[in-house]
């Protein structure tokens, strides 16, 4: 039995395919269209899912959509009714897409895919919950979903047991932790639904002490937090419920200044605001989790929704609460709901037994050697063939050790927003200048942003102060942990200002080549850790196919590309026709 | 013959653009009417009867959690978009 899950029209469109309860393919549409966080109908993702299993749409038994569109439309209309006439502009700009696309999703699916069988609609937060719980190792777990907004719900908690999920309570729009985080992201001059992680990275530079950070007390005025973690926001400070901007003038006054322009310098005030936001976010979630534990008495926790990408807090959950185990899927945000809706149909609606645990995130497209060779030949690209894995590992590890920046393109693409060793840029974390080199050559990031380390799971506890046993979500780069003090100076390029690292752990069975590469690098450097950053140009999605990868290398300062068994040196090839840097933006 | 074909293609494209321009104007006019009359009047009536569509202020109650009770329903319910 095949079930296709589809999510689209808000941000991070995606499709996922289940075969007899096992996820066999999942991918975000942005990887094909090359538009970051693409919202469009995921036709390319669907086509990939079908092609990967060599099936057609006639083989699909059910299609699931990741929300109830009419419930969401009711919420949108309520916003307009509440705030009339201030919402006039947004009404005119948003209604055509509702009328032409969002409320006609059945017609779109049937017409675009020529699909004739059943289509199911599952509530958005149920999609989040199912997308994590049904593919987790837990038979029973407490569930918390937190995002910007679904239909009406912005935060929900409940319990999952075997084939059933019950979301018991909710916080409704407009009060939303996700939207509070996005509002401050916008206030700090970063892009909404994209750069929230930058604010998270900025926070340790600010004052993380509640008593001395002046903006902590100020920001607490905008949100009322009860002892059980429930909260409500004073909407005088926000305008996102009726405008296409988020902070109100009153919020700007509260925070002592106007919205930061993107090109403006980041000052101590901005850093303190980011810190205050992170403190408040952590305070709310801790209270909710303590209450959730009290209600459910369950040791296992499932976290889902976009806020579950707050890896700084994720790494503190098991220390701050009574939960013993935590599981977060590689894409806990809206992208992940396509897996959620498909799993929900199979396990809950159809009542089929659970038979799958997601062990790795390699669910995307892969390209056979022949196809890559044809691409290289057609484009007259000079390359070296590496005889076997041993040579590939030795050569690549040596290049990284010699401080080269290496593009690493191997096997199936990762599912979710993080590069996890299939479409990664790898470099030497022991070089104190590597952060600057990477920024200069490839990333052009803000200086405050850290780079992430990858370490083999069996070495992790030597270098990092992780929870034990190390949570599986660490494999998906979703947990930030302190780096042990004695290693701070040894791996400066991945040590953040507060001594932490957003590490990825890798287990041998997940990706043997990648695992062995890290070990091989360890033989040369004495430290089996690499810098792993996503293989993309700033402002573009992670590369998907050989063309994207080669274009990215030639348009930036990546020194080498290791693609399948082919080694390509940037300097050996003319780059005038591959100037991708000019497209770089936020 | 080639030129004639090109002329008809361009004519067709032009008519398409003209059509979408007209539909944009008509749609905007209709949406303005719907907003002012539909949304506006409903909003005024709601305000008279003190109906709140969104909770935008703090409250003194003990908790902001609301009942959701979202669990497995009949299969038929999942065909619905609401």
Closest chain A residue to the Cα of B52, Cα to Cα: A82
Q: Could you give the CA distance from residue A68 to residue A570 in angstroms, rounded to a whole number?
A: 49
The contacts of residue A451 (CB under 8 Å, 6+ apart) are: A429, A434, A435, A438, A493, A494, A531, A533
In angstroms, the CA A300 to CA A320 distance is: 14
**pLDDT tier, A170 (very low <50, low <70, confident <90, very high otherwise):** very high
What is the average pLDDT score of chain A?
Answer: 95
Name every chain B residue with its beta carbon within 8 A of the beta carbon of A103. 81
pLDDT of residue A574: 83
List domains and CATH numbers for chain A: 2-135+337-349 (3.30.420.40), 177-327 (3.30.420.40), 369-583 (3.90.870.20)
Residue A567, beta-bridge partner list: A384, A562
User: A16 - beta bridge partners?
Assistant: A5, A26
Query: What number of other Cβ atoms are within 10 A of residue A250's Cβ?
Result: 14
Search chain B and give the residue with CA nearest A83.
Answer: B43
Does residue A516 carry a pLDDT above 70? Answer: yes
Tell me the whole-structure pTM to 2 decimals: 0.94
Question: What share of chain A in percent tops pLDDT 90?
Answer: 93
pLDDT digits (tens, 9 = 90+) for A52-88: 999 999 999 999 999 999 999 999 999 999 999 999 9
- Tens of pLDDT, residue by residue over A400-457, are 999 999 999 999 999 999 999 999 999 999 999 999 899 888 877 888 888 999 999 9
The tokens for A105 are 């999703």
Which pLDDT score, from 0 to 100, does residue A307 have? 97
Paired residues of A167 in beta bridges:
A158, B70
Pairwise CA distance, residues A175 & A180, whole Å = 8
- Please, are residues A124 and A71 in contact by the beta-carbon 8 Å criterion? no
| C-alpha to C-alpha distances, A499 to A269, A322, A365, nearest whole angstrom | 22, 25, 36
pLDDT tens string A298-345: 999 999 999 999 999 999 999 999 999 999 999 999 999 999 999 999
Integer angstrom CA distances of residue A22 from A1, A63, A117: 10, 15, 21
Q: Where are the beta strands (DSSP E) in A177-279?
A: 223-225, 231-233
The rounded distance, in Å, linking the Cα atoms of A421 and A464 is 20
**Chosen from B53, B67, B75 to mutate, greatest number of chain A CBs within 10 A:** B53
Pairing type for strands A504-506 and B66-70 reads unpaired
Q: Cβ contact (<8 Å) for A79 and B53?
A: yes
Q: Which of A71, A79, A349 sits opposite B54 (nearest CB)?
A: A79
- A27 in the Ramachandran plot: left (φ > 0), alpha (ψ -120 to 50) or beta? beta
Q: Which distant-in-sequence residues (6+ apart) come within 8 Å of A433 by Cβ?
A: A493
Average pLDDT over residues A185-198: 94
Q: Which two tokens stand for residue A257?
A: 């200044």
| Candidate from B28, B54, B63 with C-beta closest to A230 | B63
The tens digit of pLDDT for each residue in A154-166 reads: 999 999 999 999 9
What is the ipTM metric for this complex?
A: 0.91
Q: Average pLDDT, stretch A528-542?
A: 93
CB contact (8 A) between residue A77 and residue B39: yes
What's the rounded mean pLDDT across residues A168-196?
96
**Mutation choice for B interface testing from A81, A100, A120 by most B CBs within 10 A:** A81
Identify the residue whose tokens are 């050996």.
A572
Q: How many CB atoms lie within 10 A of CB B16?
A: 10
pLDDT of A122 above 80: yes
Task: Decide: A406 and A421 in contact? Cβ < 8 Å.
Answer: no
Structure tokens at A496: 């953040």
For residue A80, give the chain B residue with the closest CA.
B39
* Predicted pLDDT at A120: 98
pLDDT confidence of residue A443 = 75
By C-alpha distance, the chain B residue nearest A239 is: B56
Mean pLDDT of chain B: 93
């Amino acid at each position: 039995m095949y079930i296709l899950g589809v999510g689209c029209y808000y941000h991070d469109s995606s499709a996922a395919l289940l075969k007899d309860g096992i996820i066999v393919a999942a991918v975000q549409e942005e990887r094909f269209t090359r538009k970051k966080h693409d919202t469009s109908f995921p036709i390319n993702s669907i086509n990939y899912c079908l092609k990967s299993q060599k099936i057609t749409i006639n083989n699909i038994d059910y299609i699931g959509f990741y929300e109830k569109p009419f419930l969401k439309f009711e919420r949108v209309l309520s916003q307009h009714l509440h705030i009339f006439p201030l919402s006039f502009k947004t009404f005119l700009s948003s209604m055509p897409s509702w009328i032409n696309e969002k409320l006609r999703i059945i017609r779109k699916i049937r017409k675009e895919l020529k699909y004739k069988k059943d289509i199911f609609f599952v509530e958005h937060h149920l999609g989040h919950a199912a997308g994590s719980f049904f593919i987790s190792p837990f038979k029973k777990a407490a569930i918390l979903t937190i995002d910007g907004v679904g239909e009406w719900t912005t935060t929900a908690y409940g319990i999952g047991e075997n084939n059933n999920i019950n979301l018991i309570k909710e916080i409704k729009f407009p009060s939303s932790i996700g939207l509070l985080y996005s509002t401050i992201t916008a206030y700090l001059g970063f892009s909404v639904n994209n750069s929230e992680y930058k604010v998270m990275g900025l926070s340790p530079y600010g004052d993380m002490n509640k008593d001395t950070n002046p903006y902590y007390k100020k920001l607490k005025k905008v949100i009322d937090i009860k002892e059980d973690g429930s909260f409500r926001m004073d909407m005088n400070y926000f305008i996102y419920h009726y405008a296409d901007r988020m902070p109100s003038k009153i919020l700007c006054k509260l925070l002592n200044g106007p919205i930061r322009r993107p090109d403006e310098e980041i000052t101590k005030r901005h850093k303190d605001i980011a810190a205050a936001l992170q403190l408040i976010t952590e305070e709310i979630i801790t209270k909710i989790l303590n209450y959730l534990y009290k209600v459910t008495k369950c040791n296992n926790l499932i976290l889902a929704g976009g806020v579950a990408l707050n890896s700084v807090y994720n790494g503190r959950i098991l220390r701050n609460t009574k939960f013993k185990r935590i599981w977060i899927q590689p894409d806990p945000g809206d992208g992940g709901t396509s897996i959620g809706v498909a799993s929900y149909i199979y396990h809950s609606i159809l009542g089929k037994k659970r038979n799958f645990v997601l062990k790795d995130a390699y669910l995307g497209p892969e390209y056979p050697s022949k196809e890559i060779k044809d691409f290289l030949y057609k484009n007259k690209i000079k390359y070296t063939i590496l005889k076997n894995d041993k040579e590939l590992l030795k050569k690549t590890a040596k290049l990284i050790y010699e401080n080269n920046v290496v593009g690493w393109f191997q096997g199936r693409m990762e599912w979710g927003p993080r590069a996890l060793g299939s479409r990664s840029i790898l470099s030497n974390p022991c070089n104190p200048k590597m952060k600057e080199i990477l920024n200069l050559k490839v990333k052009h990031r803000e200086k405050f942003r850290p780079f992430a380390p990858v370490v083999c799971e069996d070495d992790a506890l030597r270098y990092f102060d992780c929870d034990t046993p190390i949570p599986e979500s660490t494999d998906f780069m979703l947990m930030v942990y302190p780096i042990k003090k004695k290693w701070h100076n040894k791996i400066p390029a991945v040590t953040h200002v507060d001594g932490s690292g957003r590490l990825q752990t890798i287990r041998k069975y997940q990706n043997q080549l990648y695992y062995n590469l890290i070990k091989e690098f360890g033989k040369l450097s004495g430290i089996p850790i690499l810098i792993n950053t996503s293989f993309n140009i700033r402002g573009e999605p992670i590369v998907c196919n050989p063309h994207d990868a080669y274009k990215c290398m030639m348009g930036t300062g990546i020194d080498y590309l290791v693609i399948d068994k082919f080694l390509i040196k940037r300097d050996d090839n003319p780059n005038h026709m591959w100037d991708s840097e000019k497209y770089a933006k936020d | 013959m080639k030129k004639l074909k090109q002329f008809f293609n361009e004519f067709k494209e032009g008519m398409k653009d003209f059509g979408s321009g007209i539909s944009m104007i008509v749609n905007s006019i209709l949406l303005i009417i719907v907003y002012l009359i539909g949304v506006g009047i409903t909003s005024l009536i709601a305000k008279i009867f003190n109906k709140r569509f969104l909770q935008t202020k703090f409250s003194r109650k003990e908790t902001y959690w609301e009942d959701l009770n979202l669990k497995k329903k009949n299969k038929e319910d999942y065909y619905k978009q609401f």
